[in-house]
Amino acid sequence: MKTQHQASINAYQADGFIGQYQRLVKNVVIPYQYSVLCDEAPDTEKSHVIQNFINAGKALRRTGKAAESGPAEEDGAANTGNAKSDENGGFYGMVFQDSDAAKWIEAAAYSLSLFPDDKLEKTVDELINIIADAQDEDGYLNTYYTIKDKDKRFTNLQEGHELYCSGHMMEAACAYYEATGKEKLLQVMLKNMEHIYRHFIVEKHQGFPGHPEVELALLKLYRVSGNKHCLELAEYFINTRGADPHFYEKEKAKRDWSVWNNDPTDTDYSQASKPVREQKDATGHAVRAVYLYTAMADLASSTGDAELFAACRRLWESITRRRMYLTGGIGSTGLGEAFTVDYDLPGDTAYSETCASIGLLFFASRMLENEVDGEYGDICERAFYNTVLAGMQLDGKRFFYVNPLEIIPGISGISVTHKHDLPVRPKWYACACCPPNVARLISSYGKYAYGENEDTAFCHLFAAGKVRLENGMRFTCETKYPYNFEILYHIEKGGKLAVRIPGWSRTWQLSVNEKKLETSDVLLQKGYAYLNVSDGDTVRLVLDGTARFQYASLKVPALTGKTAICRGPLVYCFEGVDNQGDVLSLSLLKNGALRVSDFQEDLLGGTVTITADALRTETSGALSTELYSDEAPATSPCQAVAVPYYTWGNRGENQMRVWMDFV
Amino acid sequence: MKTQHQASINAYQADGFIGQYQRLVKNVVIPYQYSVLCDEAPDTEKSHVIQNFINAGKALRRTGKAAESGPAEEDGAANTGNAKSDENGGFYGMVFQDSDAAKWIEAAAYSLSLFPDDKLEKTVDELINIIADAQDEDGYLNTYYTIKDKDKRFTNLQEGHELYCSGHMMEAACAYYEATGKEKLLQVMLKNMEHIYRHFIVEKHQGFPGHPEVELALLKLYRVSGNKHCLELAEYFINTRGADPHFYEKEKAKRDWSVWNNDPTDTDYSQASKPVREQKDATGHAVRAVYLYTAMADLASSTGDAELFAACRRLWESITRRRMYLTGGIGSTGLGEAFTVDYDLPGDTAYSETCASIGLLFFASRMLENEVDGEYGDICERAFYNTVLAGMQLDGKRFFYVNPLEIIPGISGISVTHKHDLPVRPKWYACACCPPNVARLISSYGKYAYGENEDTAFCHLFAAGKVRLENGMRFTCETKYPYNFEILYHIEKGGKLAVRIPGWSRTWQLSVNEKKLETSDVLLQKGYAYLNVSDGDTVRLVLDGTARFQYASLKVPALTGKTAICRGPLVYCFEGVDNQGDVLSLSLLKNGALRVSDFQEDLLGGTVTITADALRTETSGALSTELYSDEAPATSPCQAVAVPYYTWGNRGENQMRVWMDFV
C-alpha cells in the first residue's frame, strides 16, 4: 500500500468538537498566552520571553552586530504594544525561554490558517520583527546566550538548548510562511540554519543537541524551503547521536560552567547511549525521546531508510506495548520527566507530561508516513483526546504539565513523591513548554487528521469540517465525534478514500449513499477501509459507541485487579464531585452495566457521562479509626458516575481515579 | 493501673522461636558482623570502623591528648586480632561510622547476658580498649572529627552525628556493664557525657542533635549510673528541640563546611519545627522520629510529665493510625528515608527501614512505661515479627535496609523510583545502621517481652524461656509462638501476672492448673489479663490461631480492593516461587478458605504456610501482547500459597506481594 503525507495546514476548516477547540484557542488561548508572554497576565508566573528578544536586540545593537540594521530603539516595547522594557536589559527565565515565543507564533500561524485575523497577524508580524532584531549578523539566534555570554555559544550542547530553540523557531517560521505566505521569519531561520550548518558541517564541530527538536524542525524546513542543507544537517544530528556515548563527558570537560549540572554520563536521559539505529527501548526524558523518534521516522520516510524505520518501529512498540498509560501519557516518573522500565506505570505518581503526549502524536503521525496502519491513528486519538486535552482547562486559561491517573487531595501535590501531581491546573509555569504546545497542536489538528498521496485522501482521525487536498480531492466531514459515532463524508471531488477503522470499534458499518457495504465491497488493510468515491457521494461510517471496560496487561503491577472505562477514544475517570466525594471506596461490578447518558450540553463544556453498577465499601467498624482490621467492611450497591478524563479537575479540587477496583 | 518498667537484660533466658534467633545472633550474626567491622568478610562493603578507632587513638597520641595513657603503639591492629592497619591513618566511612561498633558491642553484651562466652567477652574488652584509646583527654570521643578535623567538633549538630555516636556508645556501655559488671566503657562514656554536659550546660552552647539518639541513651545512662547530669542533658536536648526552628540555619551560617549539604530549613526532617510538646504529626526521617519519641516517652514516664506524654500519644497515633505499613514498617519514601503524609503507604516503593521498625518497638516499649495498654505490645510484635525479622536473611548473613511490601523483578531495584527496593538481601551496606541494630534487638528481646513493677510480672510479648524478675517473681514460659498459640506459664515464684491479650486474637481462653477461667475470674484491662498466681501454678493462655484476612482503611489509596493475610502476629506474603512464578495474576476469593499447614520443619527455617482459594487470571488473547484491551481476561480457580513475610527473599529473586487483589 502506498504511503501518504500530512495534509497541508490550509487543507482543513474545522467544525464540530475540534472546531470548538480551535475557536477556543483562537479566542482565548492565543490572546491569553500572548498576555503571559508579555508579562501582562495578572497573578501569573513571569515569562519575560518577548522582553528577552528585545533585550537581545539591544545587546546586539550595542555591539553593532544585529542582522537587521533598523534604528536602535531605546525601548523595544513600542514594537510589541505590550512587553514592558526591562531596565536592566537582562535575560529572565529558563535557558530555553525563547521557545515559548516560537510555539506561540506557530499556534498563531495555524490559527490564522483557520481564522483570518488582521489584528493577530499584525501582532505576530511585530513579534517577528523583534525576533529578527535579536538575530546576530552571523545568523545566530538565542537570547540567553546573546544577552548573557556570547562566548558560550554551542559549548554546552548537552544542556544549552540553543538548537532546541532554533528548532522551535524553524517550526514557527514554516507554519507562518505556510499560513500567510510571509517569508520574513522563514528567511531569519534559513539564515540561522546556515549558521548552524557552518558550525557543524563546514567547520566540522562535533555534537548533537541534548534536547532533540531541531532535527524534526530541519526536516520541516527542508520540505518548505527545499534547501538541502536542512536535510544534511538533520541527518548529521540524527546519525551522530549516540555514536560517541562519551561526547557529553568530553564536552563538559572542556568548559567551566553548567546550566543544571546534568550528569553527562547519563546518556539514556538524552537517548545517546547508542547510535539511533541500534536503540531498542524508549529511555530517558520522554519529550526528548518522542521528538527524536519523530525526526527519525520523518527521515526514514523521506529517505526510505529501512534500518532507521525498523529502529522507529522497535521504539514505537517499546512505548505503546510496555511504557504508555491508558490515556496515551508517557514518562512514568518526575525524576528526569522520564521513562522508567517496562510495565512500571503507577497512576498516582505518573508524570505523563502534556508535551510528551503531543510528541507521541507527532511520532505516530510520522510513522504513518512510513506505513499506513490504524494503530498509529489509535494512539494519536488516545493521546489527543485524553492527555493532551486534559492539559488545558475547559476555559483555555489554565494548564496541566503533569497528568496523573489518580488524584487524592491530601496526598497528590503534597507528599514528596506526589509533588508534581497537582489536583488543579495552574495558570502558567516557570517551565512553560506545555501550554503553547497544546495551542499549536489543537490549531494544526487538520494535518494530523488528514493525509494524502497522489490519488487518495486518508482520514486518520475523525474531525468534522471541510477538507481540500492538494491531490484535488474535496469533501466535508460531518460528525459529533467523539460523542457520537456516526461519521459522514460528503464528497465534493472524489477519488480514493481511506478511512481508519479504530481498533477499539468492535463493530462498524460503512455505507455509500445509504447503501450498506459488505465486507467484500471494501478493501480493508491494516485498520483502514479503502474505497473509491465519486463527486456527490455520501459515505457513512458508523462505529461502535458502546462503553467498554478496559483491562491492563498482568505485567503492570499497579493495574492488577483494576478496570477502566472507555467510550470511543475517550478514557473516563471518576471524580469525587460526581460520587459523594469519595471514589476510593467504589468498586465496579464485573458483570455490571455501563449506562451512557445523553449528551449534556451544560456539563463540562458539553459531555456524556457513563454510569456504572458499583459497590461502595462502607467506612464503619474498626476501619473508621484503625488503619488495618480483620473486620470485613460492609458494602452496598450503588451507581458510580464517570466523566471523560480530559474534563477532570474543572470543578475544584477533588478525588479522581481512572483505574477502579473491580469485583 | 500501676505502670511498670522493662525487665533487666539478665531477667530472661530464651527458648523457643526467640531463643533460636538469639542463638543465631550469637553463633553467626555477631561473629559475622565483627568480621565485617574488621574488614575481614570477603566480598563485603568495607566498614573500617575499628580501624577508625585505632587511627583516632594514634592521632591523639601524636598530639599527646589521649585520655588513656597507654604506650603509643605503631599498629593498633594487634589489639583487635583482626582489623588491618590503615597505612594512611585516615578515616573511612560515614560520619556516623563509630555507631556500628557501638551497636555491635551492645548486641554482644546482650548476647553475653544470655550465653556466657569468654572468647567473645575478650574480643569486646579489646575493642573497648581501642575505643578508650580513641577518647580525647577532655572526654570527647568521635573518630571522624578526631582524625579529620578537631576544630569542627560540635559545629554541625545538624549533620555531624557526634551526639548520635555518643548515644550509641552510651547504650553499649550500659549494656556491657549490665551484662558483665565491667565498668571501663561505662566510665569512658560517663566522661564523654561530662564533656557534652560541659559544652551544652556549663558553657551554654546552644543546640540539639540532628539525629536524635543521645537523648534516649542519656536516660539509660542515668538509670545505670544515677548521674543526674545525664537526666539534665537529656531534658535539655528534648526541651531545646524545635524551640528555635531557625537554629540549624544560624548554625550553618557560622560554618564553611557541610557533610551532605542538608537543607537547614527542612526542620520537619529532624522533628525540629516546633517544641516537642506541640508536635502532632510524625514527620521527617523515620528513624530520627522514633528515636526522639522513645526518649520523650521515657522522659515522660521518668518525670511524670503529662504534657510530654500527651505529645507522645498524639505522635503514636499519627504513626499507628495513619502512617504505618501492615508489617509495622514506617517511612513511606526513600526521599529522606521519611514519613510522607497520612495514608500514603505504597507497598512497592516503600522505604520501611529496618531501623525505623526497631525504633518503633523502642517507642512502644517506652509508651508501656507510661501506660500498660495492649496496643503497644501489638505494635511491638507487628514490627518485630515482620519488618525487623525480614531485615535479616534466615542464615543471619545478609540484611535488608529497606522492606517493601511488593517486589517485581524487572521493576524493583531497577526503576529510578524503586532503586531502594531490592529483591535480595545484600551482605552489608555503606550505611550499615540496620544489621547491628537487628542483632542488638534480638539479643535483648527479653527486656521488651517482659516488664515488672514491685508486685507484678508483665508478659507483653510471648517469648518462651525462663524469667527471673527483680521483684522476686520467677516463671518459665513454654510456647511455640508465633506458630502455635498455646502459651504456658509455669510459676516458680508467684505474685501478680499481667498477660497481654493481643488485639488480633478474636477469642482466647485462660486456665490456671487446667481450670478454665471465666471472664469474671480475670481482671481484664486495656488488653491485659491480670491474675494472681501462686508457686507451682501453671497458667495456660490459648489464643486464636485462625488465619485472618486483613483490610485497610479506605483512606489508603494504594490498598483499596486489596486484602492481606495474617496469622497471629505474622503478616503473610505470596512469593513467585510458591505460585508458578507469578503472583500478579492471583486474586484471593472473598469467601474463600484459608488453610493453615502443619509446621514444616524444613521450610524456611521451620514455618507454616497458608493456602488461599484464589483465581488466576490467564494471560491470553489481546493482553498477551498489548498493554490494554477490552477483552475480559479469563480466570481459573487455583490455590495460592503464602509464607510469613519475614521469610521472603530467602529463595532467590522472585515476585513478592503482601496485599493481594480480592474478588
For A239, half-sphere exposure in the C-beta direction (CA atoms, 13 angstrom radius) is: 12
- Does the CB of A266 have a partner CB in chain B at under 8 Å? no
- Chosen for mutation from A386, A505, A551 (greatest number of chain B CBs closer than 10 Å) is A551
Chain B partners within 8 Å of A343 (Cβ): 408, 410-411
Q: What is the C-alpha separation between A154 and A158, in angstroms, rounded? A: 9
How confident is the model over A385-423, as pLDDT tens digits? Answer: 999 999 999 999 999 999 999 999 999 999 999 999 999
Q: Write down the pLDDT at residue A532.
A: 95
The interface residues of chain B toward chain A in range 401-420, judged by CB-CB distance below 8 A, are 406, 408, 410-411, 414-418
Instruction: Looking at the complex, report in whole angstroms how far the Cα of residue B478 sits from the nearest Cα belonging to chain A.
Output: 28
In a 10 Å sphere around its CB, with 0-12 CB exposed, 13-18 middle and 19+ buried, how is residue B11 labelled? buried
How confident is the model over B152-169, as pLDDT tens digits? Answer: 999 999 999 999 999 999
Give the nearest partner residue to B557 out of A322, A557, A584, using CB atoms: A584
Which residues of chain A have a pLDDT value below 70? 1-2, 68-88
The answer to whether the CB atoms of B557 and A408 lie below 8 A apart is yes
Active-site residue (options: B337, B375, B381, B406) = B337
Q: What is the C-alpha separation between B531 and B309, in angstroms, rounded? A: 28
End-to-end CA distance of chain A: 45
Section B275-304 average pLDDT? 97
Please report the sign of the dihedral spanned by the C-alpha atoms of residue B574, residue B579, residue B581, residue B582.
negative
Q: What is the C-alpha separation between A232 and A212, in angstroms, rounded? A: 16
- Chosen for mutation from B412, B414, B554, B582 (greatest number of chain A CBs closer than 10 Å) is B554
Grid cell in block for residue B314: 498524639
Instruction: Looking at the complex, report in whole angstroms how far the Cα of residue B621 sits from the nearest Cα belonging to chain A.
Output: 11
Please report the sign of the dihedral spanned by the C-alpha atoms of residue A509, residue A512, residue A513, residue A515.
negative
Active-site residue (options: A165, A433, A459, A573) = A433
How confident is the model over B364-418, as pLDDT tens digits? Answer: 999 999 999 999 999 999 999 999 999 999 999 999 999 999 999 999 999 999 9
Grid cell in block for residue A657: 481515579
Rounded to 10°, the helix A162-180/A118-133 angle is 140
The answer to whether the CB atoms of B561 and A560 lie below 8 A apart is no
Q: What does the radius of gyration of chain B's CA atoms come to, in whole angstroms? A: 25
Q: What does DSSP say about strands B495-500 and B456-459: parallel, antiparallel, or unpaired?
A: parallel
Section B511-538 average pLDDT? 94
CA distances to A102, A352, A431, A436 from A439, in Å: 12, 18, 16, 5
The answer to whether the CB atoms of A416 and B560 lie below 8 A apart is no
Q: What is the C-alpha separation between A24 and A17, in angstroms, rounded? A: 11
How confident is the model over B35-83, as pLDDT tens digits? Answer: 999 999 888 888 899 999 999 999 999 887 777 544 433 333 333 333 3
CA neighbor of B657 nearest in space, from B555, B564, B556:
B564
By C-alpha distance, the chain A residue nearest B587 is A561
Q: What is the C-alpha separation between A59 and A136, in angstroms, rounded? A: 10
Q: What is the C-alpha separation between A13 and A464, in angstroms, rounded? A: 9
Give the count of beta carbons closer than 10 Å to the beta carbon of residue A598. 8
pTM for the predicted model, two decimal places: 0.94
The answer to whether the CB atoms of B506 and A416 lie below 8 A apart is no
Q: What is the C-alpha separation between B15 and A20, in angstroms, rounded? A: 77
List b or e across A626-648, with b for residues whose CB sees 16 or more CB atoms inside 10 angstroms.
bbbbbbbbebeebebbbbbbbbb
The interface residues of chain A toward chain B in range 608-647, judged by CB-CB distance below 8 A, are 617, 619, 623, 625-633
Q: Identify whether A618 is a catalytic site residue.
A: no
Q: Write down the pLDDT at residue B68.
A: 58
For B568, half-sphere exposure in the C-beta direction (CA atoms, 13 angstrom radius) is: 24
Side by side, the strands of the sheet bearing A474-479 are A12-14, A465-468, A474-479, A486-493, A538-543, A508-512, A515-516
- DSSP letter at A198 equals I
Instruction: Looking at the complex, report in whole angstroms how far the Cα of residue A290 sits from the nearest Cα belonging to chain B.
Output: 19
Instruction: Looking at the complex, report in whole angstroms how far the Cα of residue B267 sits from the nearest Cα belonging to chain A.
Output: 15
By C-alpha distance, the chain A residue nearest B320 is A627
By C-alpha distance, the chain A residue nearest B335 is A416
Listing DSSP states for A46-108 in one string gives ---HHHHHHHHHHHHHHTT-BSS-----S-THHHHSSPPPPTT----S-TTTHHHHHHHHHHH
CA neighbor of A533 nearest in space, from A523, A544, A520, A525:
A523
The partner residues of B392 in beta bridges, in order of sequence, read: B399
Of A39-43, A140-144, B485-489, B581-585, the least confident: A39-43
Grid cell in block for residue A384: 489527543
Q: What does DSSP say about strands A495-500 and A456-459: parallel, antiparallel, or unpaired?
A: parallel
The interface residues of chain B toward chain A in range 184-243, judged by CB-CB distance below 8 A, are none
User: B308 in helix, strand or coil?
Assistant: helix
Chain A partners within 8 Å of B584 (Cβ): 554-555, 557, 560
Q: What is the C-alpha separation between A371 and B357, in angstroms, rounded? A: 57
Instruction: Looking at the complex, report in whole angstroms how far the Cα of residue B473 sits from the nearest Cα belonging to chain A.
Output: 36
Q: What is the C-alpha separation between A151 and A154, in angstroms, rounded? A: 9
Chain B partners within 8 Å of A285 (Cβ): none
Q: What angle do CA B460, B466, B468 make, to 5 degrees?
A: 80
Grid cell in block for residue B281: 504529626
Chain B partners within 8 Å of A382 (Cβ): none
CB-based contact A217:A168 (threshold 8 Å): yes
Q: What is the C-alpha separation between B625 and A375, in angstroms, rounded? A: 14
CA neighbor of B609 nearest in space, from B644, B634, B582, B577:
B644
Section B551-558 average pLDDT? 96
By C-alpha distance, the chain A residue nearest B349 is A417
Q: Write down the pLDDT at residue A46.
A: 86
Q: Identify whether A566 is a catalytic site residue.
A: no
Q: What does DSSP say about strands B586-588 and B660-662: parallel, antiparallel, or unpaired?
A: parallel
- Does the CB of B261 have a partner CB in chain A at under 8 Å? no
The answer to whether the CB atoms of B332 and A619 lie below 8 A apart is no
Instruction: Looking at the complex, report in whole angstroms how far the Cα of residue A269 sits from the nearest Cα belonging to chain B.
Output: 12
Grid cell in block for residue B272: 525540629
- Does the CB of A580 have a partner CB in chain B at under 8 Å? no
CA neighbor of B111 nearest in space, from B5, B9, B34, B217:
B9
How confident is the model over A609-618, as pLDDT tens digits? Answer: 999 999 999 9
Q: Write down the pLDDT at residue B582.
A: 97
Grid cell in block for residue B570: 505474622
Chain A partners within 8 Å of B415 (Cβ): 332-333, 340-341, 344
Q: What is the C-alpha separation between B152 and A558, in angstroms, rounded? A: 48
The answer to whether the CB atoms of A630 and B549 lie below 8 A apart is yes
The answer to whether the CB atoms of B627 and A553 lie below 8 A apart is yes
Active-site residue (options: B174, B355, B433, B566) = B433
The answer to whether the CB atoms of A628 and B342 lie below 8 A apart is no
Grid cell in block for residue A139: 545568523
How confident is the model over B437-455, as pLDDT tens digits? Answer: 999 999 999 999 999 999 9
Section B146-151 average pLDDT? 92
Rounded to 10°, the helix A286-303/A306-322 angle is 150
Chain B partners within 8 Å of A333 (Cβ): 415-417
CB-based contact B320:B376 (threshold 8 Å): no
Q: What is the C-alpha separation between A369 and A298, in angstroms, rounded? A: 7
CA distances to A31, A624, B199, B345 from A621, in Å: 55, 6, 53, 21
- Does the CB of A49 have a partner CB in chain B at under 8 Å? no
- CA B596 vs. chain centroid, Å, equals 29
Question: What's chain B's average pLDDT?
Answer: 94
For A246, half-sphere exposure in the C-beta direction (CA atoms, 13 angstrom radius) is: 3
